[in-house]
Structure 1
Amino acid sequence: MATSGTQRPGGRTERTRQSVLHATLDLLAERGFSELTVDAVAERSGVHKTTVYRRWSSPDGLVAAALQMGAEDDWKAPDTGSLEDDLYEVAAEVVRYFTEPALKELPTASVLAAFQSPPAAEALHDFYQDRHERMAPIVERAIARGEVPLGTDGDDVIRAVCGPMFYRLFISREGATLADARISARAVAVAAREGAFLPRI
C-alpha cells in the first residue's frame, strides 16, 4: 500500500487525492476490482497517470486508500433510547446499503475486492474497526440504562446483529429485508439482556 496516497494534505494535493479516490470508488462500483486499472482511474479523475502511479502505484493501493476514506466521514451511532431500536437501525443500515439500487454497487464491490486484494481486505477491516469504535456508545448507553449487564461486549453485540444480514446477502444469497433486521435486533437485545455477551472464563 502506498502510504503517501493515503495521507490528507491540503490545497491542490488534497483536491487531487479526492478526485483520484472518488474516481476509484466510482469505477470499483461500475466494473469491480478485477477490471479496475490505474489508467482508467487517471482518465476518470483527470489526473495525469504518472501522478496516480507515483502516489498509489497499483489498483490495490488505489482501492485501499479509497476505502480508508470511510473513516473520514462524520457517521455516528444511532441513539433511539433503547438497545433494540439502536441495533435495528444498525442492521437496517446494512440492509439498505447492500440492497437499494442507488447504494448497493459500491459496498458490494468493496466486500468482493477484499477477497481479491490483501490491501483492500486490510482497508475494509480498518473501516469496520472504525465503525465498531463509533458504535461502542450503543452498548455503553444500554448498560447505563440497566438494559444489559455490566461487562457486555459491545463488539460481539454488533457482530451478532449484523452477522445474519451478511449471511443472507453473501452466503445464502436469499437477500435481507428490514423485517430481517428487526428480528435480528430483537433477538440480540434479548440475548444481551440475558448475559449472552458477557466474557466467558
Structure 2
Amino acid sequence: MTAGDVPRPPGRGPKVRAAVLAATLAELASGGYATLTIDNVARRAGVHKTTIYRRWPNRERLVADVLGEHITTDFTIPDTGCLADDLLALARSFVAWVTSPPGRMIFTAIYRDAARFAEIDEVRRDLFEYGPRRAKQVVERAVQRGELPAGTDPVAVIRTLIAPIHFQLTVVSEAVDDHTAQQAADVALAAARAGVFHRPHHR
C-alpha cells in the first residue's frame, strides 16, 4: 500500500469542514468581512491554510458556504395545507434567522461590512435568490390546491415575501420582528391572490 492509498480517518472531512465554517463565522463576528483572512480562519480552526485552500479558493467562497450551511439547517419549508400559514411561517423563520446571533453576523458581513467589496456581490445575490428557489414549493402546492391562479410565479411570490424584511434591514436599518413578518406575509398573499404574479406566457 502506498502513501496515497492510506485511507483518511472516518469523519475527518466533515469535522474539518465544520471546524472551518465555525471559525469563519467566529472571524466574521470578531472583525467583519473586511478583516477576514484565510490565515486567521486556519489558525482558529486548528488546520493548515492549504487545507482550506483545497476546499475553498477564497474568502468569499468560505462566507458563501457558511451562508448555505445556515440557510439549509435553519430554514424548514412548512407544509400546513394553507398558503397563508405557510407564508407566515416562512416570514417568521427569516426574521428569526436574521435576528439570531449567526444570522445577524452573516447578514451584517455581506450587506454592510462587505458593501464595498465587489467580490461578495455573488454571495449577496445567492442569499436573496436561494431562499425563493428553495421555498417556491410552498406556492406550487397552493396552486395545485386551487388557492392561487394557475400560472402564478412561485419565485416572485417568495421574493415579495422576503423583500420588505430585507428592505427594512438593509436600506432603512430598522429592526424586524413578528409584526414585520405578519405584514410581509399579508402583502405577498394578497398580491398572489389578486393575480399580480401571473406569468406572462399564461395570460
- Could you tell me the TM-score, scaled by structure 2's length? 0.79
Pair 1:69–1:123, CA change in 2 (3 A):
farther
Pair 1:187–1:138, CA change in 2 (3 A):
same
Matches within 5 A, 1:123-162: 123-162=123-162
- Could you tell me the TM-score, scaled by structure 1's length? 0.80
Matches within 5 A, 1:91-102: 91-100=91-100
- Using the TM superposition, give the Cα deviation of residue 82 of structure 1 relative to its aligned residue in structure 2, in angstroms: 1.7
Structure 2 counterpart SS, 1:80: coil
Pair 1:27–1:185, CA change in 2 (3 A):
same
Matches within 5 A, 1:168-183: 168-183=168-183
Q: Which residue of 2 aligns with 1:60?
A: 60
| Equivalent residues of 1:24, 1:62 under 8 A apart | yes
Residue 122 in structure 1 maps to residue 122 in structure 2: yes
Listed as ranges, the gaps of 5+ residues in structure 2 are 1-9
Matches within 5 A, 1:78-97: 78-97=78-97
Identity within the alignment, %:
39
- CA distance in 2 between partners of 1:129 and 1:163 (Å): 11
Pair 1:114–1:85, CA change in 2 (3 A):
farther
Pair 1:111–1:147, CA change in 2 (3 A):
same
- Using the TM superposition, give the Cα deviation of residue 95 of structure 1 relative to its aligned residue in structure 2, in angstroms: 1.7
Structure 1 counterpart SS, 2:79: coil
Q: CA RMSD in A?
A: 2.7
Structure 1 counterpart SS, 2:80: coil
| Equivalent residues of 1:26, 1:106 under 8 A apart | no
Q: Which residue of 1 aligns with 2:51?
A: 51
- Using the TM superposition, give the Cα deviation of residue 134 of structure 1 relative to its aligned residue in structure 2, in angstroms: 2.4
| Larger mean Cα displacement after TM superposition, 191-200 or 151-160 | 191-200
Structure 1 counterpart SS, 2:200: coil
Listed as ranges, the gaps of 5+ residues in structure 1 are 1-9
Structure 1 counterpart SS, 2:81: coil
- CA distance in 1 between partners of 2:132 and 2:187 (Å): 20
- CA distance in 2 between partners of 1:42 and 1:65 (Å): 15
Pair 1:117–1:21, CA change in 2 (3 A):
farther
| Equivalent residues of 2:153, 2:199 under 8 A apart | yes
The number of equivalent residue pairs is: 192
Matches within 5 A, 1:104-123: 104-112=104-112, 115-123=115-123
Paired residue type of 1:146: G
Q: Which residue of 2 aligns with 1:15?
A: 15
- CA distance in 1 between partners of 2:74 and 2:170 (Å): 27
| Equivalent residues of 2:34, 2:114 under 8 A apart | no
- CA distance in 2 between partners of 1:33 and 1:12 (Å): 27
